[in-house]
């Protein structure tokens, strides 16, 4: 059974934190789906990922292309990633169910700590997923570095 890691973004924006987490997931040799709710926002993230990270290029693609199954990182709004993802990164309040968590290595939920609605949504996800028996960790960057604040 996989685990859910909640990342409370308060100092760095999504476009800075996401590449760092994607790089770590790639080092674990996981195939990754980045699941969002808005295709335009995923297009925006796609553009940012093409710029590369400080550590190098992150190979990725948007869903709906002819080579989706071959993508190590696939940006999608759907719950069935064509690349056979073993790690799903949830952005912008996209949904994830406990049954899905059980089939994955890791689920990462990234949420904007400066957006009250995003924080409330993440709290609801924490309650629902932990109540369903999912292992979960809550990480915050409030102190200036990532610290684990809670575990269930």
Q: What is the CATH number of the domain that holds 134?
A: 3.40.50.10110
Q: In whole angstroms, what is the distance from residue 4 CA to residue 47 CA?
A: 27
Q: Express each pLDDT in 34-50 by its tens digit.
A: 999 999 999 999 988 88
Structural domain that includes position 11: 3-151
Give the pTM: 0.94
Structural domain count, the chain: 1
Cβ atoms of 8 and 138 closer than 8 Å: yes
Residues of the chain with pLDDT under 50: none
pLDDT on residue 110:
98
pLDDT on residue 54: 60
pLDDT for res 51: 76
Q: What are phi and psi of 129, to 5 degrees?
A: -70, -40
Report residue 41 CA to chain centroid gap: 14
Calculate helix-pair angle for 39-50, 14-27, nearest 10 degrees: 70
Nearest CA to 73 among 93, 91, 94, 88?
A: 88
| Strand order across the beta sheet in which 135-140 lies | 61-62, 73-76, 32-35, 87-90, 106-112, 3-9, 135-140, 147-151
């Amino acid at each position: 059974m996989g685990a859910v890691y909640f990342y409370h973004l308060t100092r760095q924006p999504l476009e800075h934190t996401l590449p760092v987490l994607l790089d770590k997931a790639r080092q674990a040799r996981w195939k990754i789906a980045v699941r969002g709710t808005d295709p335009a926002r995923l297009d925006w993230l796609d553009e940012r990922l093409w710029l590369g990270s400080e550590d190098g290029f992150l190979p990725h693609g948007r869903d709906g292309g002819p080579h989706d199954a071959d993508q190590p990182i696939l940006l999608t709004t759907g719950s069935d990633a064509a690349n056979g993802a073993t790690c799903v990164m949830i952005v912008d309040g996209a949904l994830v169910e406990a049954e899905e968590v059980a089939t994955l290595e890791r689920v990462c939920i990234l949420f904007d700590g400066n957006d009250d609605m995003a924080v409330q949504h993440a709290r609801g996800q924490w309650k629902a997923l932990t109540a369903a028996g999912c292992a979960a960790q809550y990480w915050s960057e409030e102190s200036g570095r990532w610290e684990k604040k809670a575990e269930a």
